Amino acid sequence: MFAQRLLFLPLILLGVASTQPAASTDAMPFSDGVLWRVERAGSTSYVFGTLHSTDEQVTNLPKPVSEAFEASQTLAVECVLDNSAVLKVTRAMLLPSGERLDTSMSADQVALLRDASAHYHFSFDMVTHFKPWGVMMLFSVPPSEHLRSAAGAKPLDERLRAQAETAGKKVLGLETVEEQIDTLDGMAPADQMLMLDSTLREAGQIERVFAKLRDAYLARDLVSVYALLNSEMANDETGAADRFTQRLIVDRNRRMVERMDKLLQQGNAFVAVGALHLPGASGILQLLTDKGYKITRVY
């Protein structure tokens, strides 16, 4: 279960990592919706921005979204999680045998790690066997999300995949599990520790922040999502936040657009990716516009 939550990069961390200004929809194109019609040369598909959450307010699809999904023949998600993929993530996020994370942390950071572990009711000893990015992702979703996942609730992305498979739709991943792992595992160790430090310092506020994030998402207001979260690393002088955003959002946007291009040309596809991949000058929808697609907001 940890691997599934870690692999689907939570929007809470995408937002914290971003330093992009969020003043208006003019400054951030395609930020006023979550479902968009994508058309070119007579072919029509849909791109849907998701929140990686098990909250029923999120997983109960609005009618325009469910209608577009049901009418599609193919579902494309960020990555298809089968048992093999989950096992690969599990192995990748653990430190080599005999190593412990707390031995490379300052006394202040160890105290923060203990506090966060207690807040989540996780064993401190267990947490110290994770790599910095593993712990960072573990504490980037609220305890309520972990509890619902443990009870069998599936995040929105996984629900869509299960429904598509039941309906006999073709399901494709826009990235491999190895690529998603490398996005985080390939970060410089110093950058991992800086981002982990920021995450640990905010762990006690995660339920409140995530609730506001959820509400902004449900309002289809991605400008507010950025405005809510992008100040956390705004004063970062190391460049870690910018490098993190480049790896986590910008580079992946380009890769996913290249891979969805043929699928969108064929039409009748429903593409579901994290909502913060959609807006902005480097977002998926702008990149598709640059390729000649007509983008129209549906919801």
Torsion sign, CA atoms 259, 261, 265, 268: positive
pLDDT at position 231 is 52
Query: Exposure string (b/e) for 146-168, b if CB count within 10 Å is 16 or more?
Result: bebbeeebebbbbbbbeebeeee
pLDDT at position 188 is 95
**Contact status, residue 177 vs residue 193, Cβ threshold 8 Å:** no
pLDDT at position 196 is 93
In the Cβ-directed half-sphere of 109, how many Cα atoms lie within 13 Å? 17
pLDDT at position 25 is 58
Task: Quote the pTM value.
Answer: 0.91
Total domains, the chain: 1
What is the span of the domain harbouring residue 115?
2-297
**Contact status, residue 61 vs residue 35, Cβ threshold 8 Å:** no
Low-confidence ranges of the chain (pLDDT < 50): 1-23
Helix (H, G, I), strand (E, B) or coil at 53: coil
What's the farthest any 2 CA atoms get from each other in the chain? 61
